[in-house]
Amino acid sequence: MTEATGPSSSSTAHHQAAPRSVRVAVLTVSDTRTPETDTSGAYLLSELHAGGHEVTGYRIVRDDGVEIRSALTALMRDAAVVISSGGTGITGRDVTIPVVESLLTKPMPGFGELFRMLSYREVGGAAMLSRAVGGLAGGTLLFALPGSLNAVQTAWTGLLRDELGHLAFEVARHGQPMIPQPGSAGPGGAG
């Protein structure tokens, strides 16, 4: 009889095969924050460096759909993961989520669901205001977090920190349809 006490052996093997260092970019969406006052961005940068990850970019943009899309697509060129904070609420200025959702090719609904579950423990019913979202945009993982330092810490420690390498491994493991792979001439080409 087999005991079901933990992750399956294949899941464990995948975690062990996951890269220790991932290429990650950070985007802060805010009309008021600067590099000196961006505590959420600074926290993510510090945690990424401490975890041995390669930070490929960091930007702050206004809560403007065109600026957010431009920054995300630029950061996605060099990163396996892009983490944004800010612009996820329900006010008229909060436009990060529609922009991120328009880029996603494979949404990961579990990310937002788990984030709200963790947030509920901390802030109660106010967690329903979070529209945090994650998923795959082509070959890059995108995660949009609320802008508060507490929310970013919750997402990092509760979800992303221990899964970042595994997530990157899963994205690259079999490639992504319609995304040229290294050494490949692209869909239908010789590689």
Give 33-38's long-range contacts (Cβ < 8 A, gap of 24+). Answer: 33/60, 33/86, 33/147, 34/60, 35/60
pLDDT at 17: 67
Q: Which residue has the tokens 């065109």?
A: 66
pLDDT at 95: 95
User: Looking at this protein, which amino acid is placed at residue 113?
Assistant: E
* Inside any domain, residue 57: yes
* Inside any domain, residue 95: yes
Structurally, the chain folds into a number of domains equal to 1
Domain of residue 150, CATH code: 3.40.980.10
Collapse the DSSP code of 55 into the 3-class scheme (helix H, G, I; strand E, B; otherwise coil) and give the result.
Answer: strand
- Kindly report the pTM of this predicted structure: 0.85
* Inside any domain, residue 105: yes
Cα 124 → chain centroid: 24
Domain range for 53 is 21-173
* Inside any domain, residue 8: no
pLDDT at 182: 46
pLDDT digits (tens, 9 = 90+) for 145-181: 999 999 999 999 999 999 999 999 999 887 776 655 4
Q: What angle do CA 148, 161, 179 make, to 5 degrees?
A: 100
Q: Is 87 exposed, middle or buried (0-12, 13-18, 19+ CB in 10 A)?
A: buried
* Inside any domain, residue 4: no
* Inside any domain, residue 157: yes
* Inside any domain, residue 188: no
* Inside any domain, residue 181: no
- Per the structure block, which two tokens stand in for 48? 């990424």
pLDDT tier at 8, thresholds 50, 70, 90: very low
DSSP element (H, E) containing 107:
strand 106-107
pLDDT at 184 over 70: no
pLDDT digits (tens, 9 = 90+) for 27-52: 999 999 999 999 999 999 999 999 99
